[in-house]
């Protein structure tokens, strides 16, 4: 069923955005894939997706002037979501390939799994358990994993985010001996390492919970 809630999927040239759009369309949202400032700012919600390298993504965002659109949209307090690389870009910096400054919306840094650690396959590809921070669940009514117990979601990544503040960590996931932050819930922002759009009906429910 169509509704009037509009969502902008921010296009900076580094993502398969259509799988996200398809998931949102099935929920009835009005969805636009765009890099236009006015279109992004006028939307009711926004998503920063991404697959690829952190340095290249930041270069594209700066060249397209999308950093301003992202900052200004978040400042409106409307719902903003980051997925995978789009999650990483919200942090202060990343050491992927070369040290690179991020958007600095969330305090913390992005680090890469050590390829020399033979106990880990890099990149991490597949389904892993996501464990919720119950203290956040008890404080907020708009939690994206509402009605979803700790469960499996789909991951594809070589790096992971380390927020400075534990209070920002919404879920954690363990890979090898590393228990890392797999999503944050910070003010009007939900951002996750896993791919809701590739995680079946449970992933679609995350979109519904957050944007509704």
- Enter the tokens of residue 175: 């890979």
Instruction: Tell me, yes or no, if 195 is annotated catalytic.
Output: yes
In the structure, what pLDDT confidence band is assigned to residue 14 with cuts at 50, 70 and 90? confident
What's the whole-number mean pLDDT along residues 124-144?
Answer: 84
Q: Could you read off the pLDDT of 71-122 as tens digits, one per residue?
A: 999 999 999 999 999 999 999 999 999 999 999 999 999 999 875 556 778 8
B/e letters for 133-161, b = 16+ CB within 10 Å, e = fewer, are: beebeeeeeebbbbebeeeebbbebebbb
Q: Given 88, 96, 124, 197, which residue is catalytic?
A: 197
Separation CA 193–CA 58 (nearest Å) = 17
In the structure, what pLDDT confidence band is assigned to residue 12 with cuts at 50, 70 and 90? very high
Question: Which has more confidence, 140 or 95?
Answer: 95
Instruction: Tell me, yes or no, if 115 is annotated catalytic.
Output: no
Say what the pLDDT of residue 1 is.
46
Q: Is the pLDDT of residue 138 over 90?
A: no
Q: Is 85 helix (H, G, I), strand (E, B) or coil?
A: helix
Q: Given 88, 124, 157, 195, which residue is catalytic?
A: 195
- Enter the tokens of residue 203: 């992933």
Instruction: Tell me, yes or no, if 111 is annotated catalytic.
Output: no
CATH number for the domain whose boundaries are 6-211:
3.40.50.880
By the 8 A CB rule, do 88 and 102 touch?
A: yes
In the structure, what pLDDT confidence band is assigned to residue 40 with cuts at 50, 70 and 90? very high
Say what the pLDDT of residue 172 is.
96
By the 8 A CB rule, do 155 and 193 touch?
A: yes
User: What HEC string does 88-117 produce?
Assistant: HCCEEEECCCCCEECCCCEEEEEEECCCCC
Say what the pLDDT of residue 115 is.
54
Question: Which has more confidence, 168 or 40?
Answer: 40
Peptide bond into 186 cis (omega under 30): no
Q: Could you read off the pLDDT of 53-75 as tens digits, one per residue?
A: 999 999 999 999 999 999 999 99
Say what the pLDDT of residue 134 is.
78
Q: Given 62, 84, 93, 112, which residue is catalytic?
A: 84
By the 8 A CB rule, do 7 and 44 touch?
A: yes
By the 8 A CB rule, do 34 and 4 touch?
A: no
């Amino acid at each position: 069923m169509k509704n009037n809630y509009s969502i902008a999927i921010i296009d900076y040239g580094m993502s398969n955005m259509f799988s996200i759009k398809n998931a949102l369309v099935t929920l009835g949202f009005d969805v636009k894939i765009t890099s236009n400032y006015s279109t992004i700012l006028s939307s009711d919600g926004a998503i920063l997706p991404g697959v690829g390298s952190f340095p290249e993504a930041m270069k594209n965002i700066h060249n397209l002037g999308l950093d301003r659109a992202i900052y200004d949209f978040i400042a409106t307090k409307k719902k903003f979501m980051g997925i995978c690389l789009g999650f990483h870009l919200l942090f202060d910096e990343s050491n992927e390939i070369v040290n690179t400054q991020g958007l600095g919306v969330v305090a913390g840094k992005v680090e890469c799994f050590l390829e020399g650690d033979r106990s880990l396959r890099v990149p991490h590809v597949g389904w892993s358990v996501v464990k919720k921070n119950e203290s956040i669940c008890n404080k907020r009514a708009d939690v994206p994993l509402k009605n979803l117990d700790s469960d499996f979601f789909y991951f594809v990544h070589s790096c992971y985010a380390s927020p400075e503040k534990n209070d920002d960590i919404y879920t954690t996931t363990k890979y090898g001996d590393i228990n890392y932050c797999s999503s944050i819930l910070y003010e009007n922002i939900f951002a996750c390492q896993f791919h809701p759009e590739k995680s079946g009906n449970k992933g679609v429910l995350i979109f519904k919970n957050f944007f509704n």
